[in-house]
A = this chain, B = another copy of it.
Amino acid sequence: MIRQPQLEFWYEFASTYSYLAAMRIEKAAAEAGVVLLWRPFLLGPVFKAQGLETSPFALYPVKGRYMWRDMEREAARLGLPFYRPKTFPQNGFLAARIALIGVEPGWTPAFTKAVYTAEFGEGRDIADPAVLASILTDLGLEPETVLSEAEGEANKTRLRRMGDEVQSRGLFGAPTFFTEDGEMFWGNDRLEQALGWAVAQARRSDWPV
């Protein structure tokens, strides 16, 4: 018997292509028989370490213009709503801190999709605690408790350390996928290859349960 392969899914809430990946990854992973490990993180420090003061899409406007057009097309192709936020990149600090708390209790996937929908489907400001509190309420959670834990030093430190650690594994952008043998795939366009690699690797290694 072979246990199910796993795939780490690293995403940043400000990232447009992370939105596309987040909205379709569960179905794709289920069809491939792959278990997802949701990994919210902050891309800002990763960009800074590369000498980038903000998103390359903001730094290089011709590339940015193309990205918005490509997002319109890709969202339409995937059947997803798409709204271009008034400011880009959005501040995803608080959303990432909250999402990290939900990983173990298991509400991170639902929270993540709701935040992306608010941001890129409805044009709401995801840095606004009221927007995030309303999402938490909809999920049956107690916003004040979650927000207080999210903003605690222990959680902030944990998020920062996870970012440092994944950066040391080669991550430079979002979304990024890692298979269990350390293979890295970057971008929504590589989701299928990442899942395929995860499955092939599990077959090769033939883990005992």
A83 located at the interface, meaning its Cβ lies under 8 Å from any Cβ of chain B in the complex = no
Contact B77 A193 (CB under 8 A): yes
Q: Range of interface residues on chain A? A: 20 to 34
Cα A170 to Cα B65 with chains together (Å): 8
Contact B170 A62 (CB under 8 A): yes
Chain B residues contacting A65 (CB-CB under 8 Å) are 170
Partner of A172, one of B51, B63, B193: B63
A180 located at the interface, meaning its Cβ lies under 8 Å from any Cβ of chain B in the complex = no
17 contacts between A and B (CB under 8 A): A50-B60, A50-B62, A50-B63, A51-B60, A52-B60, A56-B56, A60-B172, A62-B172, A63-B172, A63-B173, A65-B170, A69-B184, A70-B185, A70-B186, A70-B190, A73-B193, A189-B189
Query: Which chain A residues have a beta carbon within 8 Å of chain B's beta carbons?
Result: 50-52, 56, 60, 62-63, 65-66, 69-70, 73, 77, 170, 172-173, 184-186, 189-190, 193
